Structure 1
Amino acid sequence: MRILISGGTGMIGRPLVTRLQESGHQLWILTRKIGARHNLKNIQMVHWDGSRLGEWSEYVNQVDAIINLAGENIGAKRWSDKRKKQIIESRVNAGEILTEAIKQARKRPRVFVQASAIGFYGVNRHENLTEASASGDDFLADICIKWEESSNGLESLGIRRVVIRTGVVLSKNEGALNRMLIPFKLFVGGPIGGGRQMISWIHPFDEIAAIQYMLENDELAGVFNLTAPEPISNADLGRYLARITHRPYWLPVPAFALRILLGEMCTLVLDGQNVTSLRLVDAGFQFKYGKIEDALKNLLA
């Protein structure tokens, strides 16, 4: 399969590109920084700015699939009004311009994979959330709603569109898990806030495998939650981290301190979601790391 990927140099994009390449697919990556070192071998980088048509659009005519993972890192900086605008526009602009390029293409791809996140459902909802659950009304939900809408209409062109609502990806070297480990390394690990907030997580291996599974399965379309079958509370996750890292678990991090430190962005750690991957499991996907203890042992070994 010939595949064009935006966001192919990010935390999910890099290992996804490697796996797809090893599986025999031919890939092109849309990137703003052609000269940057991305540690991706034998992959052609194609320049784009993520918001306008250009020479890159010609590649749309040549591919069987497009995977759109583009978007500013939501947890990289404090959420000022300017930063919020960047987070939303980086996602919406990429989806809209890819959609426009497809509409104008002489030959269109068969499948389009659209990134999103479980933030779609809003936070602090205590019920089990499935793909059929309604959207939330906070900033995270607003991001995801607009993100998904950016590629609306592709189905009417006969293109199979898959929307992946990703949970908390437990990457060892970057992202949420890396930050969670810091207090444990300093021997001051403990629950964050009340510790009762649910974390709907996924191991990077399963995230990448699930994307490939949906990409290659012509019968799958629509929205899929990419989360492990069993969400876990922040407190229980902390206890597992303490056990596996052989560190104490004793010092709670008060919610007010995080609100002062992070501002509105504190919702990423203080608020929870209980999301299930019902459609993915029903579609026949099998998780390699469906248990949190197995996932952490693999990541932290």
Structure 2
Amino acid sequence: MRVLISGSSGFIGSALVSHLESTGHDVTRLARSRSGVNESSVFWDPERGELDPANLNGFDAVIHLDGESMTSHRWSQAQKDRIHNSRVNSTELLARAFQTATDPPSVFLCASALGFYGDRGDQVLTEGSEPGNDFLSDSTFAWERATDDIASAGVQVCNLRFGLILGQSGGVLARLLPIFRLGFGGRLASGRQYVSWISRRDTVRAIEHILTNDSMSGPVIVSSPNPVTNTEFTSTLGKAVRRPAFFRVPKLLLKITQGEVTDVVLASVRMQPSVLTESGFVFDHADLATALAWALNDY
């Protein structure tokens, strides 16, 4: 397939490009710098709303992974606006390009996130579960709704609700590993909150599975079928790096250092990838210990 990818230099995107190319797909990148455009890239500027619809012609699929990190900065109102706009505005720009291209792609895969659900305690969450009612839930809901115009035009659209993606070169492990390797790791607050996770390898495998499966559409949870509590997660990570993980980080300390981002860090999200597993996808790393053992060698 000829595939156009945004966010191709990111933690997921870089691995996805390598994986798709290794399995025979023809990958082109959406690039934000005109000077960096070459035969394997197409220019766009989502902040300025710049994308030539003709550049979508001839592609079989677009995979949209671009967007501001949710937890890289404290949440001022300006940062909240950046998070929301980077996702919704860029998706709306792609939607307009789909509508006016003369030979648009037939498949559109758009990143989404577990933030759709908010803090849901022990509730088992599937693709049919209702959204939460906090800022991140509202923003993620709007992100998914921005793809509606593409779907209404007959394009196969999937919203990829990612769990926490595990690989040591980025994501949550890049922040946790230095602490745990020093022996200062441990649970966050009560530790009872659920963590939905997936290895980076299974993430890119799942994306390709969805990409090449024309029976899938709508929201798709991309996460292991075995979510764990934060206590289980941190204990297993400690064992993986052969260090104790006995510390506990109080919620008050997180609030002081992270502000409103704490609500995301401590949210309990217990997702089950019903659509993905029912479509026949088989995880390479279905249990956390196996995923972490692999992730510690994932560069």
TM range (shorter): over 0.9
Cα distance in 1, alignment partners of residues 295 and 101 from structure 2 = 42
Give the 5 Å matches for 1:114-153.
114-153=110-149
Q: TM-score, normalised by structure 2?
A: 0.94
Counterpart pick for 1:222 among 218, 222, 243? 218
Cα distance in 1, alignment partners of residues 164 and 35 from structure 2 = 30
Question: 1:43/1:116 Cα in 2 relative to 1: closer, same or farther (>3 Å)?
Answer: farther
- Whichever residue aligns with residue 4 of structure 1, its letter is L
Q: Does 1:194 align with 2:190?
A: yes
Cα distance in 2, alignment partners of residues 53 and 84 from structure 1 = 19
- Whichever residue aligns with residue 85 of structure 2, its letter is E
- Whichever residue aligns with residue 252 of structure 1, its letter is R
Residue 26 of structure 1 is matched in structure 2 by: 26
Q: TM-score, normalised by structure 1?
A: 0.94
Cα distance in 2, alignment partners of residues 254 and 122 from structure 1 = 20
Q: Deviations over 1:174-222 (max 9, x none)?
A: 1112222232122222111111111000000111011100101111111
Residue 3 of structure 1 is matched in structure 2 by: 3
Cα distance in 2, alignment partners of residues 134 and 142 from structure 1 = 11
Residue 268 of structure 1 is matched in structure 2 by: 264
Identity of aligned residues (%): 37
- SS of the equivalent of 2:261 reads helix
Give the 5 Å matches for 1:275-290.
275-290=271-286
Counterpart pick for 1:243 among 239, 242, 245? 239
How many equivalent residue pairs? Answer: 297
CA contact (8 A) 1:4 1:27 kept: yes
Cα distance in 2, alignment partners of residues 86 and 208 from structure 1 = 26
Cα distance in 1, alignment partners of residues 169 and 25 from structure 2 = 26
Cα distance in 1, alignment partners of residues 253 and 166 from structure 2 = 24
Q: Deviations over 1:121-166 (max 9, x none)?
A: 1113321000010000111101211111111122221111111100
Cα distance in 2, alignment partners of residues 78 and 35 from structure 1 = 32
Residue 17 of structure 2 is matched in structure 1 by: 17
Cα distance in 2, alignment partners of residues 300 and 71 from structure 1 = 26
Q: CA RMSD in A?
A: 1.7
Counterpart pick for 1:90 among 86, 89, 94? 86
Extract unaligned runs of 5+ from structure 2. none
- SS of the equivalent of 1:126 reads coil
Cα distance in 1, alignment partners of residues 202 and 39 from structure 2 = 23
Cα distance in 1, alignment partners of residues 51 and 280 from structure 2 = 39
Q: Deviations over 1:96-141 (max 9, x none)?
A: 0111011001112111111101111111332100001000011110
Cα distance in 2, alignment partners of residues 259 and 224 from structure 1 = 32
Cα distance in 2, alignment partners of residues 184 and 54 from structure 1 = 43
Extract unaligned runs of 5+ from structure 1. 37-41
CA contact (8 A) 1:61 1:106 kept: yes
Question: 1:220/1:63 Cα in 2 relative to 1: closer, same or farther (>3 Å)?
Answer: same
The offset of 1:52, in angstroms, is 5.1
Question: 1:16/1:34 Cα in 2 relative to 1: closer, same or farther (>3 Å)?
Answer: farther
- SS of the equivalent of 1:252 reads strand
Residue 172 of structure 2 is matched in structure 1 by: 176
Greater shift, 129-138 or 22-31, is seen at 22-31
CA contact (8 A) 1:99 1:154 kept: yes
